[in-house]
Structure 1
Amino acid sequence: MPPIQPGGERAAGPPPDVVCMQAEPSPAQQAQHAGLAPFLRDRYPAVKAQHPGEGRRKWRLRAADAFWALPPDAKTASLSAGAADADEDAEFVCDDDPLDAASTDAPGLGILVRTDFSNDQAWHAFRSRLQEGEAEFAPARAPAGDAMEEDAAGSASGNTPAPTADDDAMNADDDDDEEDEGPPAIFSVIDPSPADRPRWTGLSNLAALRLLNDVDVRRAPRPDPGAKRIRPPNRLVDHDGWQEVYAGKTVWIYDARSNADQCVRLVGQQSGPYGTATADSWRARVSHVCELQVNLATGAMTIDFGGLDRWDYEERVRNMEEAMRPAN
């Protein structure tokens, strides 16, 4: 499969012919993932010292740039030393990042980023429909009749004391809290203030991943029998047999097209079949995104288009060109 050929029709929802429901990881997800950790153990402290104050994600990106500059054999050797060691407490995992509050530490399963600010009316309509979708996944509250039956049973057994004025006040406060909480969020929404909007306007898929996820590497998927590896190599597809990938919450992007089609870009953290790329995206309608996010987060769904290349071609080209530029 050619690496950046345009795919078929764009998908706006989750029809069964393009969404694969499965409990087990797909073959692409089972590809060997050595991980960047062995290289980061050696390089990350020096990068951190050279660029104080930037934060974990930028430091990891700078270290990754150094990895991609290595010769092929050196890449493999740098990831084989101590690869089995645990790194949960390593500084390249535990250091703070300026955007942790909006990503890792924020409530929700996914992150939805607004990158176009030209139509507030369309944005508010989208947000309203998104909140309706989130409400559908809110846990059902116990029917009032069940609570009344429990109270009656307790009174009959003589175990329930008569309510006091303080009890009534506490119950009223609890009811108010329940009303204020609303349904649990499926998405953490980033809607930048006017002062911050230049940073987010027109953001590419890759730029969003680099801001909100942590960079890593894995073995690139294998080409189909008889197929050639891409030329020139690109880290988002295949560079000396390795591929740049990202870890963190799923990223969704509201862009200029969203004002008209009420869809968002669902951004992939790694590629699908060989020739597709990390940061590939496709457009999903707001009416489907909550269901998609929940199923993706639980592992009940992967999106593979039946092995076809139906991701957005223009966005792929943009990402691959951007990947060739070093971290600033």
Structure 2
Amino acid sequence: MRSELAQFLSQHYNSVKLAHPNEGRRKWKLRVLENFWASNPAPPSDSDSFRDEELSNEDEDPFDSVIENVAGGVVIRTDFSDEDSWRSIHEKLKEAEKEITGNDNPKSNNDTTTMDENNTDADMKEEDEEEEGEDGKLIKTINPESPNERALFENISNLTALRLFNDVDIRPSPSLHPDARRISPPHRLIDQSGWQEIYTGVDIWVYDTKSNADSSVRLVSLQGDVYGTATGDSWRAQASHIYDLQFNMLTGMKINFGGMDRWDYSERKRNLDEAVIPVV
């Protein structure tokens, strides 16, 4: 974690935790981050722009158990109106894994996960109890089943998905082109005081209403790519390509369409609007 945010957390995290004892690590960090942005932080300096700091005694989070065996990403189902379409995409994931791994029974890397209906705080359980490899699953699907479970995920934004499964951090915003101007008004997901809010952890693939029609999903960025792009931006990828793309992303491949700006602007606006709503 960036040292500036880590130091701010060390001062405010415990008081936030005491005030909201029934939440988890990710939400406590988000509450502290709100205070960080409100403090009008000093811009990053060139001399320590890459200084990071490890946090000690990290608390647990309700969603940790869901992703503890994930090496790559999660496919999150957020639309529940077409079971046939969802099953079709799930089968395409299995077929894609089979083509890459040669595994004729690709359950181990592609099990569907559901939430425990007796725990509304998102304690997850696996449908199939199987041995996991040391490296974990490349892709894991999250398919809420009960009404309470589905209410948590239905039509969620990219930002909400990031905040459920990844930890928040900050970094200096991407370098500004000499001929460009800084965004106005500033925004934490793009550039605020020279900082950008980012997320670290698993890759996020979102199955939404549009997925029913074209078998595509939203691939969500954990941080902006170049100046002007925002954390949580997304573009669409065909479900049949998810496994191959995720495999290559783990080896360092970046997906940016050759620098062409093809982000989903409606999703960007939703993220920007949601980011400034106080955490509840």
Is the TM value for this pair above 0.5? yes
Q: Does 1:308 align with 2:260?
A: yes
Alignment correspondent of 1:192: 144
Q: Give the superposition deviation at 1:130.
A: 0.7
Q: Say if 1:265 and 1:284, in contact at 8 Å, map to a contact too.
A: yes
SS of residue paired to 2:171: strand
**Structure 1 pair 45–38 and aligned structure 2 pair: CA distance change class (3 A):** same
For each residue in 1:283-313, what CA deviation from the matched residue of structure 2 results, as whole angstroms up to 9, or x when unmatched? 00011111110111221x0012322311111
**Structure 1 pair 290–52 and aligned structure 2 pair: CA distance change class (3 A):** same
CA distance in 2, matches of 1:120, 1:181: 28
SS of residue paired to 2:237: strand
Equivalent in 79, 93, 99 of residue 63 of structure 2: 99
TM-score by length of 2: 0.82
Q: Give the superposition deviation at 1:194.
A: 2.1
**Structure 1 pair 284–42 and aligned structure 2 pair: CA distance change class (3 A):** same
- Number of aligned residue pairs: 248
Q: Give the superposition deviation at 1:224.
A: 1.1
Alignment correspondent of 2:228: 275
Unaligned runs of 5+ residues in structure 2 are 105-129
Equivalent in 197, 211, 224 of residue 244 of structure 1: 197
Q: Give the superposition deviation at 1:33.
A: 5.8
Q: Does 1:65 align with 2:18?
A: no
**What amino acid is the match of 2:36?**
F
Q: Give the superposition deviation at 1:138.
A: 2.2
Q: Give the superposition deviation at 1:319.
A: 0.5
**What amino acid is the match of 2:14?**
P
**What amino acid is the match of 1:60?**
K
Q: Say if 1:102 and 1:188, in contact at 8 Å, map to a contact too.
A: no
CA distance in 1, matches of 2:162, 2:4: 17
Q: Say if 1:216 and 1:246, in contact at 8 Å, map to a contact too.
A: yes
**Structure 1 pair 197–39 and aligned structure 2 pair: CA distance change class (3 A):** same
**What amino acid is the match of 1:326?**
P
TM-score by length of 1: 0.70
CA distance in 1, matches of 2:241, 2:14: 43
Q: Does 1:55 align with 2:24?
A: yes
Alignment correspondent of 1:324: 276
Equivalent in 136, 139, 142 of residue 99 of structure 2: 136
**Structure 1 pair 76–48 and aligned structure 2 pair: CA distance change class (3 A):** farther
CA distance in 1, matches of 2:53, 2:175: 26
After the TM superposition, which parts of structure 1 deviate over 3 Å for at least 4 consecutive aligned residues? 32-35, 83-86, 180-185
SS of residue paired to 1:54: coil
Q: Give the superposition deviation at 1:35.
A: 6.0
Pick the structure with greater CA Rg: 1
**What amino acid is the match of 1:115?**
T
CA distance in 2, matches of 1:51, 1:277: 29
Alignment correspondent of 2:207: 254
CA distance in 1, matches of 2:202, 2:186: 27
Q: Aligned Cα RMSD in Å?
A: 2.4
Q: Say if 1:34 and 1:217, in contact at 8 Å, map to a contact too.
A: no
Q: Say if 1:251 and 1:266, in contact at 8 Å, map to a contact too.
A: yes
CA distance in 2, matches of 1:85, 1:303: 28
Q: Does 1:291 align with 2:254?
A: no
SS of residue paired to 2:198: strand
For each residue in 1:179-234, what CA deviation from the matched residue of structure 2 results, as whole angstroms up to 9, or x when unmatched? x8799842111100223101110010000000110000000012211211111111
**What amino acid is the match of 2:183?**
I
CA distance in 2, matches of 1:107, 1:224: 37
Q: Say if 1:130 and 1:287, in contact at 8 Å, map to a contact too.
A: yes
**What amino acid is the match of 1:317?**
K
Higher strand share: 2
Greater shift, 63-72 or 252-261, is seen at 63-72
CA distance in 2, matches of 1:205, 1:323: 11
SS of residue paired to 1:327: coil
For each residue in 1:109-144, what CA deviation from the matched residue of structure 2 results, as whole angstroms up to 9, or x when unmatched? 211100000000010011011111112232679xxx
Relative contact order higher in (CA < 8 Å, ≥ 6 apart): 1
Over the matched positions of the two proteins, sequence identity in percent amounts to: 46
CA distance in 1, matches of 2:267, 2:189: 12
CA distance in 2, matches of 1:101, 1:273: 33
Q: Does 1:123 align with 2:86?
A: yes
